[in-house]
Amino acid sequence: MIEPPAIRPPRLPAAQTTGRQVVVFADAADAADEPVDWSAAGISDVADSRDFTSGRVPAQAMRDAGATVFARLGIAVVSAGPDQVAALRGARRPVLSVSPELVHHVLPEDPSAYVRGYRDGVTDLAARLVGAPVPGEEVPPPPAFEDTAAATWGIQAVQATTSPFTGRGVRVAVLDTGLDLQHPDLAGRTVTAESFVTGVDSAQDGHGHGTHCTGTACGPRVPPAGPRYGVASEAEIWIGKVLSDAGSGDDGGILAGIDWAVANGCAVISMSLGADVAEAHPPYSAAGRRALEQGSLIVAAAGNNADRENGGYGFVGAPANSVEVLAVGALDPRLTTAWFSARSLAAPGGEVDVAAPGVDVLSTWPMPDRYNTISGTSMATPHVAGLAALWAEATGRRGYELWATLTQASRRLTEPSVDVGSGLVLAPQEGAGSVRRA
Amino acid sequence: MGSPLARFSVTVDDGHLAELETVASALRESGMEVERVLGALGVITGQAPADARPSLLAVPGVTSVDEQLRVALPPPDSAVQ
């Protein structure tokens, strides 16, 4: 396991406070049923936003009151010392936190910023032209993640190793070339498989790609041999074979697979496939939106059409370039953009939304090979699908809410947002999805 | 000579999601060989002569008619997939 480099937080100036306290209460099913006992803290003159017209508490009333309650937020501002407020902690409605009220200021304008920016720009240009190191860029890169005996680099990077969540009770659909249905690593798992390829009855994988993606999304917590490579180890596996053993398929079968997954309540639909077209394809936009409305999130590969070593940045293909489909770019073990990973299109929907491990990814392969290590945005996508299942389990969120949760919880990277979107998606850790008591 | 057959995905608008079968019947009458009516998505897929696109688009409830895209993965032994 690679430890992240120690980062020293910048020293911040002390915040100005007003002497009042901001109290946050726990959620109550009905706040009226659990009134706050202000008298226990010796506080009278309570102004409640519900007692004022249109819920607005006038500034004068706030100044005069011992406590001002914002009922919709479950927050009160109290004119009292911390000791006095502590008496509320024993009250019936639980208190989550008590913090000093801060004084906020308009951010100061800095007239010298322009001049400094100009100076830095000239310094940077000069340095680049003469090949000297650019000031501020001399920091050595953090160590790369590495596969260990316990887990692949990708599983470590997304912090699945320390997550208590497993995707239990969440259905994950993988629409691909199928699955090696006899693979020993998935023995005993709930697998529902269907073929949508014309003339093919079985979802058995005769290519390998689908088996690899399924392993990454849903592989076991402790594989019988080798390191852990899978994210959502207890998710229900739904396999839609939409690509032939030669690796090809068309809209008809792919849309049928999406329809089947949505109709069966799959919270996550993983699609490591795409066509190199630069425009959003209307049927996938409609499918993505209607899937989200029914609680299914489609996660798709951004595409491998970049050739960054030769100056080619590529573009996000269909279906990932639909607004309603979450597009995934690929990262290498240093968390930089993979050389093949497609860049965002300028058109709406053509953005790379998030990124995940997609270089040298070890996962399942049809027997007798058992495992294979390959690269692609196809390999990044099922990491995100598995992580979505963990978040779906942890928070109960689905559809657009689940999408927002993934981007919110991703680790920001110094790579351009056109390549990695909101950054590296991370697994929910202990306590995620619930409001904890302070 | 008829136009060669092409594979189409027909997207149905929000107002006709409850009447997908009616839309599918009208598409058949306009020359489409309907393969799948996808109820959860409001999409109908099938084949039709390539030049039938305007008449399919004219069917009430149809918001888009698109030739199907084809996806092809690299061979299994490729390093990047």
- Does residue B58 sit in helix, strand or coil? coil
- Judge whether residue B74 has pLDDT over 80: yes
CATH number, domain with residue B58: 3.30.70.80
Q: What does DSSP assign to residue A51?
A: G
Please give the pLDDT value at position A438.
44
With contact defined as beta carbons under 8 Å apart, do A49 and A27 qualify?
A: no
Is B73 domain-assigned?
no
Which residues of A carry out catalysis? 176, 209, 378
Do the Cβ atoms of A209 and B42 come within 8 Å?
no
Quote the tokens at residue A146.
């590495």
For residue A177, list chain B residues with Cβ-Cβ distance below 8 A: 73
CA gap B18, A434 in Å, rounded: 38
- Does residue A108 sit in helix, strand or coil? coil
Instruction: Please tell me which of the candidates B35, B39, B80 has its beta carbon nearest to residue A304.
Output: B80
- Portion of chain B with pLDDT greater than 70, in percent: 99
Do the Cβ atoms of A177 and B80 come within 8 Å?
no
Please give the pLDDT value at position A28.
67
Distances (CA, A) of A272 to A232, A254, A260: 17, 11, 17
Do the Cβ atoms of A274 and B9 come within 8 Å?
no
Is B78 domain-assigned?
no
Mutate to test the interface with B, among A242, A250, A341, A360 (most CBs of B within 10 A): A250
Distance from CA of A358 to the nearest CA of B (A): 9
Do the Cβ atoms of B39 and A263 come within 8 Å?
yes
Instruction: Please tell me which of the candidates B43, B71, B75 has its beta carbon nearest to residue A275.
Output: B71
Domain with CATH 3.40.50.200 in chain A: 153-420
CA gap A248, B74 in Å, rounded: 9
Q: Which of A28-32, A77-81, B31-35, B70-74 has the lowest mean pLDDT?
A: A28-32
B69 touches chain A (CB under 8 A): yes
Is B76 domain-assigned?
no
Please say whether the structural domain A153-420 has been given the CATH code 3.30.70.380. Answer: no
CA gap A199, A197 in Å, rounded: 6
Is B28 domain-assigned?
yes
**Phi and psi dihedrals of A371, rounded to 5?**
-130, 155
Distance from CA of B2 to the nearest CA of A (A): 23
Q: What does DSSP assign to residue B7?
A: E
Instruction: Please tell me which of the candidates A207, A274, A374 has its beta carbon nearest to residue B71.
Output: A274
Is B81 domain-assigned?
no
CA gap A413, A330 in Å, rounded: 13
Provide the residue-wise pLDDT of chain A in tens; the chain has 438 residues. Answer: 455 555 566 667 778 888 888 888 887 655 555 677 788 788 888 888 888 877 788 888 877 888 888 888 888 888 887 778 777 776 667 788 888 888 888 877 776 777 777 888 887 777 777 766 555 666 677 789 999 999 999 999 999 999 999 999 999 999 999 999 999 999 999 999 999 999 999 999 999 999 999 999 999 999 998 999 999 999 999 999 999 999 999 999 999 999 999 999 999 999 999 999 999 999 999 999 999 999 999 999 999 999 999 999 999 999 999 999 999 999 999 999 999 999 999 988 899 999 999 999 999 999 999 999 999 999 999 999 999 999 999 999 999 999 999 999 999 999 999 999 999 999 999 999 775 544
Quote the tokens at residue B14.
């929000």
Side-chain-side CA neighbours of A365 within 13 Å: the count stands at 12
| Number of neighbouring beta carbons within 10 Å of residue A6 | 5
For residue B81, list chain A residues with Cβ-Cβ distance below 8 A: 209, 212, 304, 374-376, 378-379
Strands A75-78, A67-70: parallel, antiparallel or unpaired by DSSP?
A: antiparallel
Is B43 domain-assigned?
yes
Predicted complex ipTM:
0.95
Q: Where are the beta strands (DSSP E) in A197-323?
A: 236-241, 248-250, 268-271, 297-301
Task: Please give the residue range of the domain that contains residue B26.
Answer: 5-67
CA gap A196, A183 in Å, rounded: 21
Do the Cβ atoms of A286 and B81 come within 8 Å?
no
Domain count for chain B: 1
**Phi and psi dihedrals of A280, rounded to 5?**
-60, 140
Distance from CA of A288 to the nearest CA of B (A): 8
Is B79 domain-assigned?
no
**Residue whose structure tokens are 């990454």:** A216
